[in-house]
Amino acid sequence: MRKTLFESFTHGPLTEPPPPADETGLAELAQALNRTARAKLGRSLSIRQVDAGSCNGCELEIHALSNAFYDLERLGLRFVASPRHADVLMVTGPVTKNMREALLRTYDATPDPKWIVAVGACAVDGGVFAGSYAVEGGVKDVVPVDLTIRGCPPNPRQLLAGLLALLQTAS
């Protein structure tokens, strides 16, 4: 264990500079955040992730945000275990009918002010699952969406760019 720990002193950090904030995201968010909310949030956001029917591809890439290369927490963003501790709900999937109620309850459990980020192609409009008897068709059809991060799945840099837009607008 010692060798592994010492090695991290000798080689430089793996962490890479973050990408610039997503321009479209900034425009999308300009309307979503009011001054009061900005003051309350400062430069830190707590995120609660909700899988509302994704194939799990988005979750893998959201997980990657915490690895040494992207190191999400250095930017003031962190994942929390409870919606009650969250400022942001990050929702993936086409929202299956079977998850609709669970998503709504999670939304209601998140204190105001709160923002909803829809992540992935199927969170936008159902993606390849649109039209099925078992899906609602997109996060916006169930809860109001403030920011969309596209991609199937979006890679960690795209996720970071979107979240940074949220952070910049919010602070």
Partner 1 sequence: MALLDSIAHKDTAKRHRPWPRVGVSDEGWRQAIDLLAGGRATLLGLWGDAPDVHMALLGEKFDNIAVLTYTCKNGTYPSVGARHPPAIRLERAIRDLFGIEAARATDARPWLDLGFWDVQHPLGKKHAAKKHAPYTFLAAEGEGLHQIPVGPVHAGIIEPGHFRFTCNGEHVVRLEQRLGYVHKGIESLMAGASLDDAAKLASRTSGDSTVAYAFAFAQAAEAALQIKAPPRATYLRVLMAELERLANHVGDIGAICNDASFALMHAQCSVLRERTLRAAEACFGHRLMMDAIVPGGNARDITADGASHVRNLLAEIHRVFPRLVELYDNTASLQDRTVTTGIVKADYARQFGTGGYVGRACGRTFDARRMPGYAPYDALQFEVPVLEAGDVNARVWIRIREVEQSLTLIEQVLGRLPKGDVRTAVKSKGEPCEGLALVEAFRGDVLVWLRLDGKGRVERCHLRDASWFQWPLLETAIEGNIVADFPLCNKSFNCSYSGHDL
Cα first-last separation, the chain? 40
Residue with smaller CB distance to partner 1, 115 or 169 = 115
Contacts with partner 1, residue ranges (CB under 8 A): 1, 3-5, 14, 49-64, 66-69, 79, 81-83, 93-94, 96-102, 105-106, 127-129, 131-135, 152-153, 155
CB of 17 to partner 1, least distance (A): 16
Q: Report whether 147 contacts 118 (CB < 8 A).
A: yes
Eight-state DSSP code of residue 94: S
Give CA–CA dist 117/139, Å, rounded: 9
CB of 103 to partner 1, least distance (A): 8
Per DSSP, the three-state class of 77 is strand
CB of 117 to partner 1, least distance (A): 13
CB of 144 to partner 1, least distance (A): 19
2: left (phi over 0), alpha (psi -120 to 50) or beta: alpha
Residue with smaller CB distance to partner 1, 33 or 143 = 143
Residue with smaller CB distance to partner 1, 41 or 47 = 47
